[in-house]
Amino acid sequence: MLPAAAIAWKYVLAGTPEESPNYNKSDHWWSMLIDIPKCIGCGNCVRACAAENDVPEGHFRTWVERYHVDDWHMESPQVISPDGGKEGFPAASEDSGKYFFVPKLCNHCADSPCTQVCPVGATFISPDGVVLVDQTYCLGCAYCVQACPYGCRYIHPEKRVADKCTLCYHRITQGLTTACCENCPTGARQLVDLKDPNDPIHAFLKTHHVQVLKPQMATGAKVFYNELDGSVR
């Protein structure tokens, strides 16, 4: 009885969890830049994401794909992603065509299909542009899992609710970068705040060939890929 009361009192003293006091949601519009020529496929981002967010085994909030586009099949590349690229990739011998790595994650779409299909209002776009899931409200119906054209959502095997990349919302609201960006050794992933006029993204977008995935879906995807190959789906 007493220990339980003591534990409860500890939570009372701690108060309701609050965001960082200096953080103003309307001052930010988060997204990410992925610089394909810099990615070496080490899998650091996948491991970091799993450690930071307790991602269940066999599911991924971010993963890395390796594309091999050979000279004769430009439209049908060979794509591999062993265990999401968590432990890196098998060595590629010198071969015809080209190889490159494509890290993927939730695109935090400005007009996201997943939030539109939720029947209970459990998934939403936060005022700072991050697509989040309210796991106490989610029914686990998986409409959103089907609606996401990028395959970025899954049903958590234990909680039985939708789970996905939060863009490390608990980190970025404290002034830190995401776990994947923090641990990318080559700077291939950069957290971007489109509302920050001093963010280097603005100059970068003007001077580089930047694409988003599946622009024809009109999702308003906000993960920008530098030098994305046309074969990437």
Partner 1 sequence: MSLSKDAGHLFRFAFLFVIAFAVFLVVRHFVVPKTFGEYGHYRGAAIGEIAARPLHYAGHDTCETCHADVAEAKKAGKHAGVNCEACHGPLANHAADPSIQPAHLDTAVLCIRCHAASAAKPKDFPQVDAQQHSGGLACETCHKPHSPAIQTEGAK
Residues near partner 1 (CB under 8 A) are 16-20, 25, 37-44, 48, 51-53, 66, 68, 88-89, 91-95, 99-101, 121-127, 132, 134, 136-137, 166, 169-171, 173-174, 176-177, 179, 182-187
Q: Residue 230 CB: number of other CB atoms within 10 A? A: 10
Question: In this complex, which beta carbon is closest to partner 1, that of residue 64 or of residue 192?
Answer: 64
Burial 182-206 (b: 16+ CB within 10 A, else e): bbbeeebbbbbbbeeeebebeebee
Q: Confirm if 89 and 66 have CB atoms less than 8 A apart.
A: yes
| Least distance (Å) between residue 87 CB and partner 1 | 9
Question: In this complex, which beta carbon is closest to partner 1, that of residue 107 or of residue 123?
Answer: 123
| Least distance (Å) between residue 114 CB and partner 1 | 13
Q: Fill in the amino acid letter for 18.
A: E
Question: In this complex, which beta carbon is closest to partner 1, that of residue 99 or of residue 211?
Answer: 99
| Least distance (Å) between residue 3 CB and partner 1 | 22
Question: In this complex, which beta carbon is closest to partner 1, that of residue 141 or of residue 214?
Answer: 141
Cα 95 → chain centroid:
31
- From the list 231, 209, 233, 188, the residue with the least C-alpha distance to 68 is 231
CB under 8 Å to 20, separation ≥6 — which residues? 173, 174, 175
Question: In this complex, which beta carbon is closest to partner 1, that of residue 1 or of residue 10?
Answer: 10
DSSP string covering 72-105: T-TTS-EEE-GGGGTT--PPPPS-SSEEEEEEEE
| Least distance (Å) between residue 216 CB and partner 1 | 27
| Least distance (Å) between residue 61 CB and partner 1 | 13
Question: In this complex, which beta carbon is closest to partner 1, that of residue 2 or of residue 17?
Answer: 17
Q: Confirm if 173 and 68 have CB atoms less than 8 A apart.
A: no
- From the list 101, 109, 88, 99, the residue with the least C-alpha distance to 35 is 101
| Least distance (Å) between residue 191 CB and partner 1 | 12
| 223-226 and 154-155 strand pairing | unpaired
